[in-house]
Amino acid sequence: MTLTNILNKVKTDIELNHDEIITLLEVTDPEEKTLIFSLAEALTLHHLGPEIHLRGLIEFSNYCVRQCNYCGLRHENYHLSRYRMTPEEIITTAEQIADLGLKTVVLQSGEDLWFTQEIIKEIILEIKKRTDLAITLSLGERRFTELEAWRKAGADRYLLKQETVNPKIFAEIKPDASYEKRFAILEQLQALGYQVGSGAMIALPGQSLADLANDLIFIRDQRIGMAGFGPFIPHEATPYGHLPGGSGEFSILLLAVARLVLKKVHLPATTALASLVPNGLYRAIQVGANVIMPNMTPLKYRKLYQIYPGKAVTSLEKVMETIHSLGRVVGHTQGDVLVSRICSNSGE
Ligand code: 5AD
């Protein structure tokens, strides 16, 4: 099938199959890329409007029990000094985020079991009491009872990236994790009524375009509400420090193709992409991103949240400037997901 035929299928709202998605990911010709990019931008405006939703990110602990081979926060990275914000620090930072006019706070950390069910629950209750923020949790793989208690306490969303749907690669990159368990947790989150975000890394060892096409199809078929795709960036203090990282230009193409395949799904301009591509935020919005997570972690901790080197600083000022320079606007609502298993919106 030719590129024109595939793009016409997208325009007439016919689902793309695996081969067609791969064909899009194989495009290298600049003119063909431009066709994909402009359709991605048009679809974003059509399905999601001009709004870019801002989520204030608090990276509140860099302790982690896991051994993921790609990640600088892995337990065995003894070169990293570890920090943990206190619950009160987290809550006051959330208040500052609300005072700035943002509508969502993302609470992210390594898998840090110091933050028990009760402690996280108290933080959620207190943020809900003091602000009108939507709360997104990004705390890794936690027990069903914990996820349930946090949802009951008022957490709205949960981010848990699949990282890859290829079970062999998953086992390689996350040696102490279980593929089945991770996907079971994603289902539990949906059943609990969380708005669920997932996503994958680009250029993992052994990963093919067919694998990435499967990652997109997984998000589409499971009706995941948000999906982050970012290039793998090697971190020298990890077993994958010597591997080649993802290409920035390919990551932009993948984001555009994600918009073609996923239509109404929220797509963030990931920090990894912004770190790798000059003007990465600008370019990501141009090809379909509609969510940005400005980093609101207190400055004294920020440099210690070293998932990978050269992490971009997505300050609120820079983000606003970028949005306005593209003629887009900041979302004034909580920017709930439009795709989910449970509720259906806009006639879906
Ligand atoms: N390069 C790029 N992205 C990474 N992540 C973790 N380590 C790396 C890395 N070395 C991403 C993963 C994780 C998210 C918090 O950051 O997708 O889910």
213-246 pLDDT per residue, tens: 999 999 999 999 999 999 999 999 999 999 999 9
Predicted pLDDT at 130: 98
The pLDDT of 174-196, averaged and rounded, is 98
The pLDDT of 57-85, averaged and rounded, is 98
Cβ–ligand 1 distance for 233 under 6 Å, the answer: yes
Predicted pLDDT at 347: 39
Rg (the chain; Cα; Å): 19
Number of the ligand 1 atom closest to the C-alpha atom of 231: 2
Predicted pLDDT at 345: 47
Cβ–ligand 1 distance for 201 under 6 Å, the answer: yes
Query: What is the pTM (predicted TM-score) of this model?
Result: 0.96
Number of the ligand 1 atom closest to the C-alpha atom of 199: 17
The pLDDT of 27-55, averaged and rounded, is 98
The pLDDT of 28-51, averaged and rounded, is 98
C-alpha 189/C-alpha 341 separation (Å) is 10
Predicted pLDDT at 346: 43
* Sign, Cα dihedral of 296, 302, 305, 311: positive
Cβ–ligand 1 distance for 215 under 6 Å, the answer: no
What share of the chain has pLDDT > 70, as a percent? 98
User: Would you list the DSSP string of 201-215?
Assistant: EES-TT--HHHHHHH
Predicted pLDDT at 313: 81
Question: Is pLDDT at 109 greater than 90 in this prediction?
Answer: yes
The pLDDT of 105-132, averaged and rounded, is 98
DSSP state of 81: P
Q: Say which residue, 1 or 254, is predicted with more confidence.
A: 254
Tell me the average pLDDT of the chain.
96
Cα 207 to the center of its chain, rounded Å:
19
